[in-house]
């Protein structure tokens, strides 16, 4: 299958890697040539780590890298399946899919990696909206097994099943979800972050103590270390979106502390500073 990935950030690179490792011909698109170069380097670094851990061999790495091409021209993205991993803005995703719909034939499946934007809102503005589906990976995409396959009001059963089968073929664990705010995982997990931030706002404990307490209770990471890994600004954007989609339900209220981090550019590991400081 010819797979297109739009967006060469952390998520896009990770998705491109797992698709290429499963034998698909992948074209990774980004307007920024430097982002494409960084994505290729990141993918190679991930593969090298897999080799050092004994999970991959050199032949697997070579095949995966051979399967990945890059482009900064959207008209070159002619594929069977295209997965977008761009900024969480409805207008941007609609404009992107409208352009891709003109470039590709009607059989091309257009998939969004959105964390919270309703699939139905995206598909409503796209020709042949039945081919629009959510394929939601979790960060880091090359490690995390779970993938949500989300059907909007227009998504055909055939397209949803094709997406489900594709996720299984790339050795991930798919779950079917309906088009509701936050789908399944982000709706349930939102309070992991929101309540942790409320405890911090109320000066009940420091973010370090909250993280340590939850990790000692069995969680692999506390909310603040996890936000730094995901991206503080990405996490805030999802919370803000869900707050509005649930008509300002107080239990989803975004945090002023997190907003200040976003405004300061303290986005976590990728910027070297978030709730923690990184070398």
Top pLDDT among 230 and 136 is at 136
Flag whether pLDDT at 139 surpasses 90.
no
Structure pTM?
0.90
Flag whether pLDDT at 31 surpasses 90.
yes
CATH class of 2-178: alpha beta
Q: Reduced to 3 states, what is the DSSP secondary structure of residue 273?
A: strand
Residue in 67, 104, 186, 241 annotated catalytic: 186
Rounded to whole angstroms, how far apart are CA atoms 220 and 214?
A: 8
Residue in 46, 104, 113, 115 annotated catalytic: 115
- Count Cβ atoms below 10 Å from residue 205 Cβ, excluding itself: 14
Start-to-end Cα distance in the chain:
40
Residue 245 in tokens: 């989609």
Domain layout of the chain by residue ranges: 2-178, 186-270
Rounded to whole angstroms, how far apart are CA atoms 160 and 258?
A: 35
State the pLDDT at residue 152.
Answer: 97
Residue in 42, 104, 130, 136 annotated catalytic: 136
Verify cis geometry, omega within 30 degrees of 0, for the bond prior to 258: no
What average pLDDT is seen over the chain? 96
State the pLDDT at residue 147.
Answer: 98
115 carries an active-site annotation: yes
- Count Cβ atoms below 10 Å from residue 195 Cβ, excluding itself: 13
State the pLDDT at residue 61.
Answer: 96
Q: DSSP label at 128?
A: S
Flag whether pLDDT at 163 surpasses 90.
yes
CB 198 within 8 Å of CB 255: yes
State the pLDDT at residue 51.
Answer: 95
**How do residues 195-216 score in pLDDT, each as one tens digit?**
999 999 999 999 999 999 999 9
Q: Reduced to 3 states, what is the DSSP secondary structure of residue 17?
A: helix
Selection from 1, 5, 231 nearest residue 96 by Cα: 5
Flag whether pLDDT at 119 surpasses 90.
yes
Rounded to whole angstroms, how far apart are CA atoms 31 and 27?
A: 13
Which fold would CATH assign to domain 186-270? 1.10.1040
Flag whether pLDDT at 178 surpasses 90.
yes
148 carries an active-site annotation: yes
**How do residues 69-90 score in pLDDT, each as one tens digit?**
999 999 999 999 999 999 989 9
Q: Tell me what the mean pLDDT of segment 138-159 comes to.
A: 96
Residue in 84, 88, 130, 148 annotated catalytic: 148
Flag whether pLDDT at 256 surpasses 90.
yes
Dihedral sign from CA coordinates of 4, 85, 164, 229 = positive
State the pLDDT at residue 116.
Answer: 87
């Amino acid at each position: 299958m010819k797979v297109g990935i739009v967006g060469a950030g952390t998520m896009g690179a990770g998705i491109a890697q797992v698709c290429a490792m499963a034998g698909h011909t992948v074209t990774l698109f980004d307007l920024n040539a430097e982002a494409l170069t960084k994505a290729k380097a990141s993918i190679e670094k991930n593969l090298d780590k897999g080799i050092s851990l004994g999970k991959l061999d050199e032949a697997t790495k070579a095949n995966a890298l051979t399967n990945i091409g890059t482009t900064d021209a959207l008209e070159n993205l002619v594929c069977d399946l295209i997965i977008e991993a761009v900024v969480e803005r409805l207008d941007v995703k609609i404009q992107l899919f409208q352009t891709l719909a003109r470039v590709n034939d009607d059989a091309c499946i257009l998939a969004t990696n959105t964390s919270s934007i309703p699939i139905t809102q995206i598909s409503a503005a796209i020709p042949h909206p039945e081919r629009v589906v959510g394929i939601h990976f979790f960060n880091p995409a090359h490690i995390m097994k779970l993938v949500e396959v989300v059907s909007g009001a227009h998504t055909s059963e055939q397209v949803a099943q094709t997406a489900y089968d594709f996720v299984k073929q790339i050795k991930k664990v798919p779950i079917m979800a309906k088009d509701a705010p936050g789908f399944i995982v982000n709706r349930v997990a939102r309070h992991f972050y929101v309540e942790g931030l409320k405890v911090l706002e109320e000066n009940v404990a420091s973010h370090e103590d909250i993280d340590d307490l939850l990790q000692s209770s069995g969680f692999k990471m506390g909310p603040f270390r996890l936000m730094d890994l995901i991206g503080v600004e990405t996490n805030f954007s999802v919370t803000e979106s869900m707050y509005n989609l649930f008509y300002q339900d107080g239990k989803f209220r975004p945090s002023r502390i997190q907003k200040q981090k976003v405004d300061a550019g303290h986005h976590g590991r990728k910027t070297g500073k978030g709730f923690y400081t990184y070398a």
